[in-house]
Structure formats: C-alpha cells, structure tokens
Amino acid sequence: MRLTGIFLDFDGVISPNSVGLMHKWVYEYINKFTSVPIRERTIKEIAKLTTTFPPKAVLELVFQSFGIPLDVKQVQQLMHKEISDSVAIDPGFSRLLNFCSQNDIQVKIISQRSSTSGAFNQLEHVPGLDASMVCSTQGMSKADPACYIQIGSNLQLDLKDWIIVDDSPYALRAAKIANLKTGLMVTPTFNIDDYLEYEDLIDIKLSSLDNLSNIVKSKNLCSLDA
C-alpha cells in the first residue's frame, strides 16, 4: 500500500502515561466525597469501557454512577491543571514527525479535547507540529465508525491509504469499519483478552512510536495490505 497519512491518538499513544495519570487523579478526587472508598480498579474498568468517549462524558458517567454531584467544567479544569505538568510525550513522536515530513506522509492527531488546553500545551514545543494537525471528533465517540468517516470527508482524505494508531481496540474496530488500516499501541489500560477479541481487526501491534517509524522507514507495510 502507499501510505499517505497517519492518525495518532494522544492519550496512550503520543503520551504513554496520560491515561494512568487521569485514572489516578479521578480515583483520588472522587474519594474525597465518599465515606466508603470506591476502589481504583472500579474507576479503571469504567474508564476502559468508555475510553472512546470525550473526557467530559467519562467524568459525568463516573460521578453520576455513584450519585456524586459534579460541576464537570470545574473538575476538568482542575484535573488538567494538576496533571498537565506530569504528562510525558513519547520521544519518538518528534522523530516520527520529522520522518513523515521528509517523506510526504501526513500526520493528524485525533482529539476529543481542545488543542489549546491541558496536555496539548506541551505539544507546542515539539518541532514540526502545528494546530492544523489536530482533528476534532466533534463530540463523537471514537468507537463510532461515523467519527472517522466524518473526519475523512471533512479533510477530503482517502481513508484506505491511512493508518490509525490507538490503544483502544474499540476505536480500532470502528476505524477498520471506516476502511482505515489499524495499529494497536499496547498499553496497560487493556489486558490481553481485550485485544484478542479484536485481533482480526488489528493490522499491526506497536510498543512505541519509534516502532511505528521503523516499520514505515523499512517500507515493511505488507501486513497492512487489504
């Protein structure tokens, strides 16, 4: 295949630790309002099932599930303020951007948040990145194939020549339906059974963005052919 573009997820792909930071923060914050603690594993399981939702929807679901009042805008702002400085960017991200720029391969970041808030502020310092790379899901779930079809239509892209890299098998299922090639970034958020259920919809498995760069550089894309 002639690879013309790469869609990247932020949480879990560009930032390997942001998902864990958010889970830990929500666990600690929500238990300030409970007399009997909600277990951290419970928070992680809910977050895993809703990983393709916008962060606002996830927070609303978690708090409403346990009957805890929530000013979602205030909580979102507080969470971003308290964890943003700890969000790490995969060092392979800038190397991938440089290679793609030199080889006429587009890179887009699929975002469910504002490109100017929270963790995205850190991307301003990554060489080669600009605001035009950020594609909003416009509130749609990444588990909905229409999300990718809409992005492709808006940008006038032929999705069959693009690959999406995400850590959610649910997002990759939807992307495959939308005719994208799929790359799974293996992270601690999902266990092996979660991945195996959708293994036939995953074209390649990755451990880092350097791993992706090496595959693209070597032109070893035979596993991505339809």
Instruction: Find the CATH number of the domain harbouring 218.
Output: 3.40.50.1000
Same domain? For 57 and 68 the reply is yes
Tell me which of 69, 86, 103 is where a domain ends. 86
Same domain? For 9 and 66 the reply is no
Same domain? For 106 and 52 the reply is no
C-alpha triplet 1, 150, 207: angle, nearest 5°: 50
**Which pTM was predicted?**
0.88
Lowest mean pLDDT among 4-8, 125-129, 133-137, 220-224: 220-224
Tell me which of 86, 104, 124 is where a domain ends. 86
pLDDT tens by residue, 54-88: 888 889 999 999 999 989 889 988 998 899 889 88
Same domain? For 26 and 115 the reply is no
Total domain count for the chain? 2
Same domain? For 121 and 201 the reply is yes
Long-range contacts of 18-21 (CB under 8 A, 24+ apart): 18/83, 18/87, 18/88, 18/119, 19/47, 19/51, 19/167, 19/187, 19/189, 20/188, 20/189, 21/83, 21/86, 21/87
195 pLDDT band, cuts 50/70/90, is confident
pLDDT tens by residue, 120-153: 455 555 556 677 898 888 888 899 999 999 999 9
pLDDT value at residue 217: 82
Same domain? For 100 and 169 the reply is yes
pLDDT value at residue 1: 63
Tell me which of 64, 86, 108 is where a domain ends. 86
What SS3 state is found at 203? coil
pLDDT value at residue 119: 43
Same domain? For 94 and 147 the reply is yes
In terms of average pLDDT, the best of 16-20, 108-112, 179-183 is 179-183
The answer to whether residue 16 scores a pLDDT higher than 80 is yes
**H-type helices in the chain, by residue range?**
18-30, 40-49, 55-65, 72-83, 92-102, 145-155, 169-177, 192-196, 209-217
Mean pLDDT score across all residues of the chain = 86
Same domain? For 22 and 9 the reply is no
pLDDT value at residue 38: 96
Same domain? For 26 and 48 the reply is yes
Mean pLDDT of the region 29-33: 95
Same domain? For 98 and 33 the reply is no
Q: Which domain holds residue 146?
A: 5-16+89-224
| Cα 111 to Cα 201: distance, rounded to the nearest angstrom | 22
Same domain? For 80 and 110 the reply is no
Same domain? For 95 and 171 the reply is yes
Sheet with strand 134-136: strands edge to edge: 134-136, 106-111, 5-9, 162-166, 181-185, 204-206
95 pLDDT band, cuts 50/70/90, is very high
